[in-house]
Amino acid sequence: MMASHDTMKAAATAQPLGLCRRGFRGTLVSVSPVATQGGFDPEELERRLLELGFIEGATVQILHEGPFGRDPIAIRVNDTTVALRRHEAMAILAQ
């Protein structure tokens, strides 16, 4: 996706959800997957995240962490709850 000037600026202070701990609460800044090993190609990952409701401006909150290695994480996005592995959550920037 083409990042606008605003999202570029915001992205400077935003952090990937994949690095956030339980209790983190913020606003989604951008969904921009980069090529990862394994899983989907970035375009497909982006589409799937969008379909789950991860869209710029959404409220996100990390509700739970998996019992082993704090992975996967359960994320409240607007009014649904979705589980993702941290690896994929790296594609989601929030602040």
Partner 1 sequence: MTQAASSALPLSTRTDPETQPIEAALVGAPNCGKTALFNALTGATQKVGNYSGVTVERKIGVARTPEGRQFSVIDLPGTHSLRARSPDEEVTRDVLLGRRPDERIPDLILAVADATNLRGALRLVNELKSVGLPIVLVLNMIDIARHRGLQIDHLALSQSLGIPVVTATAVRRGGLDALWEVVAPMLEAPLPAAQPATWVAPNSHDLRVAMREADRLVKAHVIQPAIPDTVTARIDRVVLHPIAGPVILLVLLFTMFQAVFTWATPFMDAIDAGFTWLGTLVAQVIPSGLIQSFLTNGVIAGIGSVIVFLPQILFTFLFILLLEDFGYMARAAFLMDRIMGRAGLNGRAFIPLLSSFACAIPGIMAARVIDNRRDRLTTILVAPLMTCSARIPVYTLIIAAFIPKTKVLGGLSLQGLVMFGLYAVGILSVLVVAFCARFFFARTERSAPLMLDLPDYKMPRARNVALGLYQRARVFLRRAGTVIFWSMVAIWVLSTFPQPPEGATGPAINYSFAAMIGKFIAPILHPLGFNWQIAVALVPGMAAREVAVAGLATVYAVSGDGGLIHTLAGQWSLGTALALLAWYIFAPQCISTLAVIRREAGSGKWMWIALIYMFVLAYVAALITYQIAALLGAG
Instruction: Please report, as ranges, the residues that interact with partner 1 according to CB under 8 A.
Output: 1, 38-40, 43, 45-53, 55-56, 63-69, 71-72, 74, 78-85, 87-88
Q: Helix (H, G, I), strand (E, B), or coil: what is residue 46?
A: helix
Residue 14 or 45: the one with the smaller Cβ distance to partner 1 is 45
* Residues 17 and 61 sit within 8 Å (Cβ to Cβ): no
For partner 1, which is the closer residue by CB, 12 or 69? Answer: 69
Smallest separation, CB 95 to partner 1 (Å): 19
CB of 48 to partner 1, least distance (A): 6
Distance of closest approach, residue 12 Cβ to partner 1, in angstroms: 22
Q: Token pair of 94, please?
A: 């929030």
Burial class of residue 94, CB neighbours in 10 A (0-12, 13-18, 19+):
buried
CA 20 – CA 72 distance, rounded (Å) = 12
